[in-house]
Structure 1
């Protein structure tokens, strides 16, 4: 696959939003998120709009999402991390690819597709980058990187859908994005920090010069995608007749058990899953789904391998433990976290795992099952393939609606290479 660079352009919002540039402080939710650029690839069958149409639509839609055209900086007065809404712009890279899109499909988690993505790493100031990869057949792969501390998955899903609608219809989002971050993090009149946020979401800064070296912190990691058809998910649910469970709960329970087995964990081993919980529908009053920013905290279902592997009841145990842990991350928990931000004075680091971390014997999971991926339609239908390449943490999983079958789920994961073979052998086992 030969990828040829055509041009690089800086796209700014039209009309401009920077008549009065301002600093928007990162909220406590922003600071708790991964401090990295999230990469994604979207493939579209031909015909596709011209690059000029895509760039024009991007320029227009950025006026609704000005944070993405800004820069992360520091408030000189209060030394707070902020987003500078200055319309500095988004980088767009245009390439041509000598092969046909059919030669590339489906996008493969094990392939090196870095040539289809904008560069990321130290020194990249762009909060959003887009790469338009045009194939010889007229197919298109959009590579994107966005900084997680600017927006979470639901926010970026709304942005991509809005961009597609702007290109296809020439109309902005209705309703528009909800941009008032400070309105979401208003503390209560009587502050009540009821949970241990100092250790769950944050921790004191670590002195890297004196931090102990963990010999298990490095291992060869493999990215893979597993497709679970809707009929398999239905069979899993039938194995838990005593509880009505969601697709997410039963599939995570199944994978938690299967990965623990593939890792060869002893029965006495305690294992937990860090589960992202979207606060929009959990807070009271409900936060608009169009809120643009980060509004996620985490549940931590925990069990021994023995509990997960119990004959005849391990799956049901795992479903129950997941459900109860997620339910505990409610409005009260979110409000306590907001109040914590008012009373915590010292510098704190997020407990989100850093790039290259090894989570074994634990896991982390994000669910995008409710995001409107199929509505990202630039004119010829939604994406025919989607891929989050190079998941940066061993034990990280991402649940995405399958582009192959309605009701099916694609699970992208990063596992230690030594565990992948046994996991693949047993990932469809109902035992």
Structure 2
């Protein structure tokens, strides 16, 4: 390690309205994962200097002041975001080898890349630590690996997409950069004239103290690349209009159910992340910075997942996602207001690090995000990876950069399921 510094956001005049504030968590923040999420961006030469990346980061964070803050504890004992501009942690390292010598993915299995991003802290350790942590690793050939870790309690995938685009733009444009003005008013994510919630959010997004402990397993993360030809054939198998996400999830649900040997009469469900910004009534600005994700839960018996047509499985997925509508979001916020009034402590059902979702799955679609093409001036990453998926059964999807219409998938599976899954995952039956 050559250096370790805190990069602070550029201070404006007058100061940002949130400067010094203790921002309470929204109900969406409380429902999401309590962890640092690592991403790895690999850039061959030429690449911008570390100084240019840090200056651009400082300018970008000025528009997203939460990212220069810290998780803290308020007077009620609840964690909040202290917008104190303590800065993002930036680690700078250099390796006396060429980038080509680094093994990132071996036989489809993502290598241990922990040396390329900051150490992931436990939930207890994150209070007072930087919520944005970045490692810049330089190679002899001029290549660069950016290890990027952000705390999920601060922002979701949509917000991250906006920030990464802003940081890249700040680096490319230098002094000509003009910071955007994302929507920062999290107060909009509270119940208005709350009533009794319609849905049982106390067992959907949150859980009680009597819930059984989650199972754990040794897991590996694998990377799959589905070609545009495969995707065209997959959509043809559905036999009706569908999205890339719907047909890809239907395929992965079938293959993981087969691979895991789930009993025919056992139920399996998928926890599908749904961006609620455009689904709320009225809609919330698309550039809202923070968390605004809930989950749909398509559920079928294993025999139906395996024997039903692709079209039938797609319908189950589509119907479940459509249920996350304005009424459901309103009920969720009403539940939060009721829980606060009663002094309830809420524990999210999001899977904890190291746990096992089997026979279930969780999926996050990054198909509409630009993570895979974040360009700091020398072109997009080659490759982009999610190196440490926190729990078995979680998968993410994003567009292939090399094959327009293709899809890349990363999924964490139990070690014993990896090799059999790799043998069947590209088969359309």
TM superposition score category, shorter chain reference = over 0.9
Aligned-partner SS, 1:115: helix
Deviation for aligned residue 1:262: 0.6
**C-alpha distance in 2 between matches for 1:173 and 1:268:** 57
**C-alpha distance in 2 between matches for 1:105 and 1:157:** 27
Deviation for aligned residue 1:422: 1.7
Deviation for aligned residue 1:220: 2.2
Instruction: Give the match for residue 60 of structure 1.
Output: 59
Q: 1:190 to 1:220 in 2, by over 3 A?
A: closer
* Aligned ranges 1:21-420 → 2 under 5 Å: 21-76=20-75, 78-104=76-102, 109-122=109-122, 123-124=125-126, 125-170=129-174, 171-172=176-177, 175-183=180-188, 185-205=189-209, 217-241=215-239, 243-310=240-307, 313-344=308-339, 345=342, 346-420=344-418
Q: Is the contact between residue 63 and residue 179 of structure 2 (CA under 8 Å) also seen in structure 1?
A: no
Deviates more, 1:266-275 or 1:113-122: 113-122
Q: Which runs of 5+ in 2 are unaligned?
A: none
Deviation for aligned residue 1:99: 2.0
Aligned-partner SS, 1:155: helix
Deviation for aligned residue 1:373: 2.4
Deviation for aligned residue 1:353: 0.7
**C-alpha distance in 2 between matches for 1:266 and 1:75:** 47
Aligned-partner SS, 1:276: strand
Deviation for aligned residue 1:173: 6.2
Q: Is the contact between residue 383 and residue 403 of structure 1 (CA under 8 Å) also seen in structure 2?
A: no
Deviates more, 1:231-240 or 1:11-20: 11-20
Q: Which runs of 5+ in 1 are unaligned?
A: none
Q: Is the contact between residue 266 and residue 305 of structure 1 (CA under 8 Å) also seen in structure 2?
A: yes
**C-alpha distance in 1 between matches for 2:300 and 2:366:** 24
Deviation for aligned residue 1:172: 4.8
For 1:186-220, what per-residue CA distance to the aligned partner results, in whole angstroms no more than 9, with x for missing partners?
313252411110110012235xxxx8667xx2322
Q: Is the contact between residue 260 and residue 417 of structure 2 (CA under 8 Å) also seen in structure 1?
A: yes
| Number of residues of Structure 1 aligned to a counterpart in Structure 2 | 416
Aligned-partner SS, 1:14: coil
Aligned-partner SS, 2:317: helix
Deviation for aligned residue 1:425: 1.0
For 1:314-350, what per-residue CA distance to the aligned partner results, in whole angstroms no more than 9, with x for missing partners?
3222111001000101111111111111111311100
Matched, 1:7 2:3: yes
**C-alpha distance in 2 between matches for 1:173 and 1:203:** 44
Aligned-partner SS, 2:29: helix
Deviation for aligned residue 1:377: 1.1
TM-score, normalized by length of structure 1?
0.92
Deviation for aligned residue 1:49: 0.9
